[in-house]
A and B are shown apart, each in its own frame.
Chain A
Amino acid sequence: MTNSLSVEDYRLTGRTRALGALYSRNARAVIARGLRATKSSNWMVMVSGFFEPVLYLLSMGVGLGALVGTVTGPGGSEISYAAYIAPALLAVSAMNGAVYDSTWNVFFKMNFAKLYQGMLSTSLGPLDVAIGEIFLALLRGALYATGFTAVMGVMGLITTPWALLMIPASVLIAFGFAAFGMAITSYMKTFQQMEWVNFVMLPMFLFSATFYPLSVYPQPIQVFIQALPLWHGVELLRQISAGVFTAATGVHVLYYAAMIVIGVVLTTGRLRALFLK
């Protein structure tokens, strides 16, 4: 077994490093674990997550789009209804992928599989776990976004090379939702509480100017929708898809940057409170 231990083996140096108690710079081990687990068990969930927005695009964009005709896109040009809703659906799929990974998946691992308990008995710190899990959620978001953008290309909905920027922008959106979702999940104790996640997601999906412009709402409701994260994602991708960049583009990006920072800080704090109590 182990070779016999000597005196020196029993003394540690105690290097002091920033965040040394929380972070061992090894989030990649958490990521590698996730990939291996996906390979053996979770891939069906991933496939279904990809097809959902594609099906929406076909039914609403192509089917309903035949009735709607053209609409006014960003920058004032007339575009097909499918081209109008496609970037919005991409934002939704980035949100859904990230939220699934960071809420249900994390909830299960935290409370039932005791996965994090095992990880935190090793050199890993809570920050390694948080970064690793969020990265996995992002990777999934990036895969979905790439696939969906390809579908848009095939359907002739991409008219400018700028549209390729939708992929990194989707990752940004996924990052915001993943970081925030994980922080919220760490407060959840029961499946009933987890249902609240769906309760928030569905109306946000339907009403965040996904299928029609914000201007249909009265002013107070417009303000409320504009405060929600998905609206910023929808608008950001819609602008990028048309290659139209304004000051609002910067605001949308900043909104997600803030969401990411708050989410990561909260998540690390919560993981510490939960597992290193």
Chain B
Amino acid sequence: MPPNLTAEPVIAARALSKHYGDFAAVDGISFEVPAGEAFGLLGPNGAGKSTTMKMIGGVSQRTSGELSILGLDPEQHGPEVRAHLGVVPQQDNLDEELRVRDNLLVYGRYFGLPMSYLKPKADELLEFAQLTEKAGAKVDSLSGGMKRRLTIARSLINEPKILLLDEPTTGLDPQARHILWDRLFRLKESGVTLILTTHYMDEAEQLCDRLVVVDKGRIMAEGSPATLIREHSTREVLELRFGSERNTTVAADLEGIGERLETLPDRVLIYAADGEAALEQVSARGLHPITSLVRRSSLEDVFLRLTGRSLVD
């Protein structure tokens, strides 16, 4: 966190809930985000991440609980709060009737910003998003990655203090993702508070200072990626594949190896401080997996541990 920023939270949610009829999309979550932090909401589809983002953005009304953004309630001061937010929705909602650069200019006008500010700003953002050559192109001629970058460029037109990113890199190829991560990292360095939802553990690990694991509208755990892994998983994981028929039956024979055992339909996971040592024990029991892999524990394992389900179904 940049040292010149206050420790007072810019976002504070207390017992925040959102019900649709009987269904609780968000079920009493509480968290605080200090200025300049990159804060993540990690969870599977339908966990309530997007709903939480919409409430922060002041476009969804909570059923109960308290929410304060930059010291204001977004329901009471929607336009004023949103003036300082940048929003990157899950699905791009670019203005297809306008050209690339016009998308930035017109969007800036929605904030009431003057053209004298917007014109150089739009060019600067096109540069930032590597879309300068596409300035006069129609939006529907852009690739998926370009559209995503344009959406992000658009969200920065008002120099937001808080940037809300809902699944920012879903559907992008690895190269496009890395470009985006780099851009987001630069924003964070300049003091912008980032709130992002993702179901990619690597994204969460790369970008987030701190995150909450969300499932079924509730917070299951909170902490930095490293802390969460340390607290909820072992240092290493041994992944074994015995073929889809045998994984379950073999699991019984693996009892006692490592600290914990997780049987998934396609593989068996053995949680151990030393993965190689665990693999030796497996061989010693006369079991020969088709493939074996030792890796570091990830947030995926944390999620599996906390919810009993895997992150990407």
Contacts and interface: CB of A to CB of B under 8 A. Distances in A.
Interface of A: 1-7, 9-15, 20-24, 26, 29-30, 32-33, 36-37, 40-42, 113-115, 117-125, 275-277
Given A5-B5, A277-B61, A32 B79 contact: no
A32 B82 CA distance: 20
Interface in B87-139: 87, 89, 91, 93-99, 102, 106-107, 109-112, 128
Given A26-B110, A113-B96, A123 B79 contact: yes
Given A7-B5, A12-B77, A21-B75, A124 B110 contact: yes
Contacts of B70: 10-12
Given A14-B71, A24-B112, A276-B58, A118 B95 contact: yes
Contact of A121 (B57, B95, B190): B57
Given A1-B156, A36-B106, 12 more contacts: A3-B190, A5-B192, A7-B4, A7-B6, A14-B71, A20-B79, A29-B106, A113-B97, A114-B91, A121-B82, A122-B107, A276-B58
A232 B79 CA distance: 39
B59 interface: yes
Nearest to A42: B97
B93 A115 contact: yes
Given A1-B187, A5-B191, A275-B59, A122 B77 contact: no
A2 B187 contact: yes
A222 B94 CA distance: 49
A12 B36 contact: no
Contacts, number: 144
Contact of A26 (B4, B36, B91, B112): B112
B144 interface: no
Contact of B111 (A2, A10, A122, A125): A122
Nearest to A14: B72
B2 interface: yes
B191 A32 contact: no
B10 interface: yes
B78 interface: yes
A5 B79 contact: no
A117 B2 CA distance: 33
24 contacts: A2-B156, A4-B191, A5-B36, A7-B4, A10-B6, A12-B77, A20-B77, A21-B75, A22-B78, A24-B112, A26-B112, A29-B112, A32-B109, A33-B109, A41-B97, A114-B91, A114-B93, A118-B95, A118-B107, A123-B79, A123-B80, A124-B79, A276-B58, A277-B60
Contacts of B91: 114
B96 to A, nearest CB: 6
A37 B98 CA distance: 6
Contacts of B191: 2, 4-5
B84 interface: yes
Nearest to B78: A21
B21 to A, nearest CB: 12
Q: Which 3 A-B pairs have the closest CB atoms?
A: A114-B93, A24-B79, A122-B110
Nearest to B110: A122
Given A10-B161, A37-B98, A276-B78, A123 B192 contact: no
Nearest to B86: A121
Contacts of B106: 29, 32-33, 36
Nearest to B87: A121
A85 B242 CA distance: 84
B228 interface: no
Contacts of A23: 79
A12 B81 contact: yes
Given A4-B190, A117-B93, A123 B112 contact: yes
A23 B78 CA distance: 9
A251 B77 CA distance: 40
A67 B98 CA distance: 50
B89 A121 contact: yes
B158 interface: yes
Interface string B5-28: 110101000000000000000000
B179 interface: no
B168 to A, nearest CB: 15
B76 interface: yes
Given A1-B186, A12-B81, A20 B76 contact: yes
A117 B10 contact: no
A102 to B, nearest CB: 17
A29 B2 CA distance: 35
A5 B161 contact: yes
A217 to B, nearest CB: 44
Contacts of A4: 2, 4, 190-191
Interface string B192-205: 10000000000000
Nearest to A3: B190
Contacts of A14: 71-72, 76-77, 80
Contacts of A42: 97
B157 to A, nearest CB: 9
Contacts of A21: 75-79
Nearest to A19: B79
A277 B62 CA distance: 8
A230 B95 CA distance: 34
B4 A12 contact: no
B98 A40 contact: yes
